[in-house]
Structure 1
Amino acid sequence: MSDGVPPDLANAAVVSPRWVTWRERTDINDYDQRFERMAAAGQHVHGEADFIAGYAASSILDAGCGTGRIAIELDRRGCDVVGVDLDADMIAAAQRKAPHMSWAVQDLARMQLSRRFGLVAMPGNVMLFCQPDDRRLIVHNLAQHLEPGGMLLAGFTLEPNGYTLAQWDQHCAASGLTLLERFSTWERQPFAESSGYHVSVHRRVDRFTVHDLLAEARSGLSRLSPAQLSEALRRDDVVVLDTRQGSDRETDGCIEHSLHCPRTVVEWRADPASGYSSPAISGFGQRIVVVCNDGYSSSLAAATLQRLGFTHATDLIGGFQAWSSGGFPVVRPPVA
């Protein structure tokens, strides 16, 4: 928890200082009830849902879903929708309103969900409330969660001296997303810089990308969370292959009894046909968990090990960073 933040705002503090400020002046229940009062008075409060549903996507990720107002309306219309938010209080509110739906506390910059979506929507100033340093990572990670040809929809206020439309477009382009259309409102008013708001639709390229390579690799893996790996290490005969650089192990530590195995030699250390296999790997039935820094290249390595016949090979979701930040034990690497 950040210094000076009241205990009841501890979950908000995980998001950003700006989000804490918003939460300090906003009661979650009053926030929801305001929209209910507007609807009762005959006002249309589902412009965002109208816009999103209009693309008839096979599945929708509401990224930064808040208390679930938009996701719940999309679900009511029959859409396959999942809601994620970094503020656990917002997810708890959404779960109370719609316990039948899929909700999760997730960091948009670092989450690794087990599925991809036809459309990812960020309708609520998410890019303004997140940590500024995470903006590029958020766009890249959301692109990773799109199916080929999938769309990223986002709307946020264009503030003077704030996060600009040019920066947004640059981050999208760097993640393989091209602008499809842009409006000033969720009611599709033509875009004008003077409006101070934008709703942009970007489409993911259809070609086979690194995101597809990763999804293909993970489709055959039963990936482990840090908690699951911790339990497996207590119960099972597990070999952890740490593919990080030796300097990273020296600086950040490692998982106890993990075998340092740089990515460039994983296949040779595992396959007995190489002539250089590690004696720590007892055979093709050995349970192997590959750990990299963030949980990306490890998926590719684990999939390759499965192709070599190690049917129980998998990797750690979020990599060593998730293990360390989750409070699981870290030790100094053994002296070579």
Structure 2
Amino acid sequence: MSSETDQQIRLTSFSHGGGCGCKIAPGVLAEILKKSSGFPVPAALMVGIETSDDAAVYKLNDEQALIATTDFFMPIVDDPYDFGRIAATNAISDVYAMGGTPIMALALVGMPINKLPLDVIGKIIQGGEAICAEAGIPIAGGHTIDSVEPIYGLVVMGLIHPSRVKRNDAAKPGDKLILGKALGVGILSAALKKEALDEAGYACMIDSTTRLNKPGQTLSSLNAVHAMTDVTGFGLLGHLLEVCRGSGLAAKLSMADIPLLKGVQQLAHDGYVTGASARNWAAYGSEVQLHRDISAAQHALLTDPQTSGGLLVACDPTAVDAVLTIFREAGFLDAAVIGDIVTGEPVIEVNP
């Protein structure tokens, strides 16, 4: 339970953006990276920045590859313990998205020391520790700074057999697309910030954002799973486009099949949409074909930034039942087939 001090302090009031909605817009990020200088890439670096994948992967030997990633952001909720849990779940997800097993984390902590009570900061860190314990890994160190806005996240390292790495650029024509979590976290966060989210909506949001994407570990053992990523700040369309571009293929989605968190479609219709949603669309809307019957609310959900979102899997049709079983046995009851990978230029077609 939150203390009286926690309830008096609104963590979200300290930040200009929350969760994965803090990400630099895709178009701006692409421009920044385009100007980055090249550097020699060692042969052991199996995955780098070339396809905007979820984590770097470095081959150690014939049996082991190291997965390394980092993620951090400003508060998406006001409860400090929940903020820590969400940030840690989100950071660890990138290791699962590569198919790996996390082994260790380092904490990244930036806090306005003169504005936040030390017990509030302590609860943020405790929340992160609780999720790391659930993942079975230690927080073995980290770094702290005094910052203007509260920032928390992790550097996470994991291991995987080199042959089991699941990249985001290996989808094949005819693959089915499966989404592990329902969409709408950004919509819920927008409603929360405007004090329009009820207790049920908040509980739904916390349940989704603190659910570790552990099925990724098991999915990596399936040869019929060709590509995998997780859906975070660029929304479903943005991260699917990364799969399409890397694979040199197109995708078709069925809006009716995409799982949505309870109540988010109405909230989106009522205007509770993040600014990141519009920035996402501005960056990649030219690569998406929306059917005329897709509503404005549905449009917003497709670009909605997902903090600690679900895994997106491209697999052979023969593996669909196995993939859905892995998700559902792990408690991901919303997991669903949402579309197909098809031949063509990297464009996404969204039908009702």
TM-score normalised over the length of structure 2: 0.33
Higher relative contact order (CA 8 A, sep 6+): 2
Larger radius of gyration: 1
User: Which one has a larger percent strand, Structure 1 or Structure 2?
Assistant: 2
